[in-house]
């Protein structure tokens, strides 16, 4: 009888330990962003310093501080008209903006073309990218401060302008996994 009770206690204890282990693992997964498919190379940033005050140039010529986008999760995409992977990526950024852009999220496509708007305007028209928020990074000032090493590179900022993570290289930003990543950070920001 004592032997049966001991076995029962061991089985219950083992079951509880297994349940705790898988419950803890599922909690960890819900707290971390989904990093599959096109987003497998997204690198979350832990404890990044606040983004310094930076400004970009709008088509109107107006200098737009990045703080103007505070309150939204913002995907800043560094690209150029001469960059083949950037050209492939741009339509997916437009579709992402159409799908998720609004009061909680926006895309900023930040051109690194040194000739600025005279180079960018014809490119946008040729590729039918109306509706994608485009800005120019004059003299690559923003890309230097944000340590961009190659194009395309996308940096996701939280509602306060702090870096959440980055992805170097081409991605399909309207894929299911990219939408899940964006939704994760938008919802995370709502909970804070």
CB 129, CB 112: distance < 8 Å: no
For residue 41, what is the DSSP state?
T
**pLDDT at residue number 189:** 75
**pLDDT at residue number 37:** 96
**pLDDT at residue number 32:** 82
pLDDT along the chain (192 residues), means of 10: 50 44 42 90 85 92 94 97 98 98 97 96 97 95 95 96 96 97 90 60
pLDDT digits (tens, 9 = 90+) for 75-95: 999 999 999 999 999 999 999
**pLDDT at residue number 27:** 39
The label of the residue with tokens 């983004």 reads 51
**pLDDT at residue number 51:** 79
Assigned token pair, 179: 């939408």
Beta bridge partners of 107: 75
**pLDDT at residue number 50:** 76
CB atoms within 10 A of CB 83: 19
Chain centroid, CA 158 distance in Å: 9
**pLDDT at residue number 15:** 46
Question: Could you give the C-alpha distances from 32 to 45, 51, 164, in angstroms and in order?
Answer: 11, 22, 11
Specify the 3-state DSSP secondary structure of 108. strand
Query: Cis bond leading into 152, ω under 30°?
Result: yes
**pLDDT at residue number 3:** 58
């Amino acid at each position: 009888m004592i032997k049966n009770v001991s076995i029962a206690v061991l089985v219950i204890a083992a079951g509880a330990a297994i349940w705790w282990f898988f419950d803890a693992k599922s909690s960890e997964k819900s707290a971390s962003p989904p990093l599959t498919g096109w987003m497998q190379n997204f690198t979350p940033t832990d404890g990044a310093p606040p983004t310094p005050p930076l400004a970009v140039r709008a088509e109107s010529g107006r200098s737009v501080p990045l703080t103007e986008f505070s309150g939204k999760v913002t995907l800043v995409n560094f690209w150029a008209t001469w960059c083949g992977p950037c050209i492939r990526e741009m339509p997916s950024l437009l579709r992402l903006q159409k799908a998720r852009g609004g009061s909680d999220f926006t895309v900023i496509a930040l051109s690194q073309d040194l000739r600025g708007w005279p180079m960018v305007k014809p490119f946008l028209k040729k590729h039918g990218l109306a509706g994608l928020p485009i800005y120019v990074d004059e003299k690559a000032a923003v890309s230097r401060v944000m340590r961009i090493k190659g194009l395309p590179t996308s940096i996701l900022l939280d509602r306060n302008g702090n870096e959440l993570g980055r992805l170097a290289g081409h991605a399909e930003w309207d894929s299911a996994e990219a939408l899940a990543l964006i939704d994760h950070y938008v919802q995370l920001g709502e909970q804070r």
